[in-house]
Structure 1
Amino acid sequence: MSQSDPSSTENDVAANLAEIQRNINSACAAAGRNTADVTLVCVSKNHEADHVRKALVDGRRVFGENRVQEAAGKWPGLREEFPDIELHLIGPLQTNKLKDAVALFDVIETVDRPKLANALAKHRDSTGQCPDLFIQINTGEEDQKAGIAPKDADDFIKMCRDELKLPVKGLMCIPPVDEEPAPHFALLGKIAERHGLKIKSMGMSGDYEAAIRLGATHVRVGTAIFGSRGY
């Protein structure tokens, strides 16, 4: 796996993106997949707007942020310059931030519990607004990590889609840092297949090529693009 060294090319965002795209293309070719079927989500958390703008100038339009408050301070101005941005929330969402998140994000990737699902449905019913949603699966069943346990995933997905009529478009996972990610990607793929969900958001800077070979449609890459965290 060949990836950008953020310590040496931290400010060369365009070069980093070009290398990552080459890696994506190679991984797709190895898996017999169409490159157009993989979306690179540029993870811009903890980076200032001027640094993020380099990726926008390079033509990228899909970005991920972890925190509602940080995104609210950064993206409205960038959207004025680049109105076709698609912004994903990839960090945990507290219900007291839900209204702001719905107004700001086009996709929420971290629907992870019944309380949040019900709150999203209630907000949708009262305002008519709800972004596309991914359900986060805690494939490693880690106590410190958000997400629905795999054994509860089927019931939760059915609740969100059938009972609450939420716009669930796919699944997302973050494998344990100390484990081989491939089995986690495969598990997410099996759950998605059972429910006819085509979108699988999995793979980050260190393992996105493996994720693509196992069917990822969205890969979330930050450090390999923007370098070490800016804030």
Structure 2
Amino acid sequence: MPVSPSLDAILARIAAAEQAAARPPGGVTLTAVSKQQPWEAIAPVVAAGHRVFGENRVQEAEARWTGRREGLELRLIGPLQTNKAEAAASVFDVIESLDRDRLALALVAAAQKTGRLPRLLVQVNTGEEPQKAGVVPADADAFLDRVRGPLALPVEGLMCIPPVGEPAGPHFGLLARIAARNGLSVLSMGMSDDFETAIAFGATHVRVGSALFGARN
């Protein structure tokens, strides 16, 4: 198998963080954030055997992965407009940014039309930042009840992006508590600068871009 030094380094750091947190090895999945990266940077990671990639936009993902996605898992980690729900359902295996009722209804309609519904994570705006997508923590339980109950959507976990400039740990801890009381096992949290902290707080998926591929143009 071809060698990708940056991939090997990130996987080694994940393994070390699992060990430090007394977690079983191999329990954390690396989502390689390929958004805005040239194919020349992504291709060595694919060739090295990595299979989980994260994208921010539907059209960009379609352009990058059409004809290349066999055997891969594509995860939408950016905000999703309701008018792109059908296209997203066709492109992605997982949508991590479910955060409002209108989008939930659009995904139900997309599934009825296409027969395909990705697995879902609810994005929680743990810092309650007005410019950021996500359900505020106080509304998370009720939102989960609506989308998992009457709409029967396949929500398997939660995602968050802590505020820049704040310690990430309290936000990861908050997300983990919301997940635990709602019986959810998947936690997508932690990025290039803080994924080891996220693993200590129970992350099952970490989203790493710049530390893996280098700075985006």
Displacement after TM superposition at 1:50 (Å): 2.8
Determine if contact 2:89/2:111 at 8 Å carries over to the other structure.
no
Paired with 1:36 and 1:19, the residues of 2 have a C-alpha distance of 15
Q: Structure 1 segments of 4 or more deviating over 6 A?
A: none
Aligned to 2:65: 75
TM-score, structure 1 as length reference: 0.91
SS at match of 1:36: coil
Structure 2 letter corresponding to 1:206: D
Which sections of structure 2, spanning at least 5 residues, go unmatched? none
Structure 1 letter corresponding to 2:110: H
Determine if contact 2:126/2:171 at 8 Å carries over to the other structure.
yes
Aligned: 1:214 with 2:201:
yes
Aligned to 1:155: 142
SS at match of 2:121: strand
- Residue in structure 2 matching 1:47, options 37, 42, 51: 37
- Cα pair distance change 1:173/1:18, threshold 3 Å: same
SS at match of 2:59: helix
Which digits, 9 at most, give the CA deviation of each residue in 1:60-112, with x for residues without a partner? 00000001111111001322xxx110000000000111111111000000001
Aligned to 1:19: 9
**Bigger relative CO (Cα 8 Å, ≥ 6 apart):** 1
Structure 2 letter corresponding to 1:167: P
Identity value in percent:
54
Paired with 2:182 and 2:65, the residues of 1 have a C-alpha distance of 33
Choose 142-151 or 25-34, whichever is displaced more: 25-34
Determine if contact 1:53/1:78 at 8 Å carries over to the other structure.
no
SS at match of 2:66: helix
Choose 89-98 or 214-223, whichever is displaced more: 89-98
Displacement after TM superposition at 1:142 (Å): 0.1
Aligned: 1:94 with 2:84:
no
Determine if contact 1:49/1:78 at 8 Å carries over to the other structure.
no
Aligned: 1:59 with 2:46:
no
SS at match of 2:67: helix
Aligned to 2:173: 186
| Cα-Cα RMSD | 1.1
TM-score, structure 2 as length reference: 0.96
Which digits, 9 at most, give the CA deviation of each residue in 1:90-137, with x for residues without a partner? 000001111111110000000011110111112223332100000000
